[in-house]
Copies of this chain bind each other. A is one copy, B any other.
Amino acid sequence: MNAGSEAMGRHPFDTAIALTAETPNRLHGHTSEDYWNVISPYGGITAAVMMQAMLDHPERRGSPLSFTLNYIAPIQAGDYAIETELVRANRSSQHWAIRLLQEQRVLAQAIAICALRRETWSHVEAARPEVPPADHCAVAPPRKATGFLQRYEFRLVRGKPFAENADSLSYVWVSDVPPRPLDFASLTALCDSFLPRIFLLRPDFVPIGTVSINIYFHAGEEVLARHGAAPLLAVAQAQAFSDGHFDHQGQLWGGGNNGEDTLLATTQQLVWYKE
């Protein structure tokens, strides 16, 4: 079915985040094999569809500013519902709560802020690492032949999984497969495309799972539209691995093919690991 949609010109990402509205506050979706992970959908696609549910809401004004999602339990293959609540709208911002459910059980909960972007004094203090342009970097062979890893192209610039790395800092050019113009849903998904930091420090596979992801958006629709389908530079590093959880801090930089280096989003996540 997904392959069929793709043949008709629809990107598998758009199929994966497609929703039908029962009411403005309750939408229905269906998991996608194209973005499947080991035992449930790829966390990034779950984040993207919850973001999209908010974006699709008839009362939504402004663009996403802050988005935090806590993953509660695995989502089973099949149908799910998303409930959105506009908790409060101020003059220039909106506060949302979003939940994903299967059979009345909440499997993920998010809170988010949308706001009107205003012209102000601006300054990017973070520096984009100096790296070769994306098209000068080799595409890494997919780690798996199925699932969501097929839906991204990774070009590793610094940091290799299960190798000797001095630290967990990595630079990776990442893009959708097939290429797709960037929007807030795909940027949200890309914020979960980072390699788990523990794979950069330890030689063997360890079971892991993201429990919380936080995203701040530093650019509006026009900047994302201008970026188009070019690769993004993904930068991330862990701060601490302790007592079964580790964090990372990440940045997503635009301008893969056009020389611009725009900080599109910063993101943090907390990841469970087995031992």
- Assembly CA distance A243 to B73 (angstroms): 36
The interface stretch among A26-34, A131-139, A183-191, A208-216 is A208-216
* Nearest residue, chain B, Cβ from A126: B239
Given A68-B212, A97-B97, A121-B202; 10 other pairs, CB 8 A cutoff: A66-B212, A68-B214, A70-B111, A88-B106, A117-B244, A119-B243, A120-B241, A125-B239, A126-B239, A216-B270
- In the complex, chain B residues whose CB is within 8 Å of the CB of A243: 117-120, 122, 220
Judge whether A251 is part of the interface by a CB distance below 8 angstroms: yes
Contact with B along A247-270 (1 / 0, CB 8 A): 101010000000000010010101
- In the complex, chain B residues whose CB is within 8 Å of the CB of A122: 240-243
- Assembly CA distance A75 to B266 (angstroms): 29
Oligomer copy total: 2
B120 x A95 contact (CB < 8 A)? no
A-B contacts, 22 listed (Cβ < 8 Å): A66-B212, A68-B70, A70-B113, A72-B95, A109-B111, A113-B211, A113-B212, A113-B270, A122-B243, A123-B241, A123-B242, A124-B239, A125-B168, A125-B237, A125-B240, A216-B268, A218-B240, A239-B251, A239-B263, A242-B263, A247-B266, A249-B249
- Give the most central of A66, A93, A273: most B CB within 10 Å: A66
Interface residues on A, range: 35 or more
* Nearest residue, chain B, Cβ from A201: B123
- In the complex, chain B residues whose CB is within 8 Å of the CB of A220: 243
A65 x B245 contact (CB < 8 A)? yes
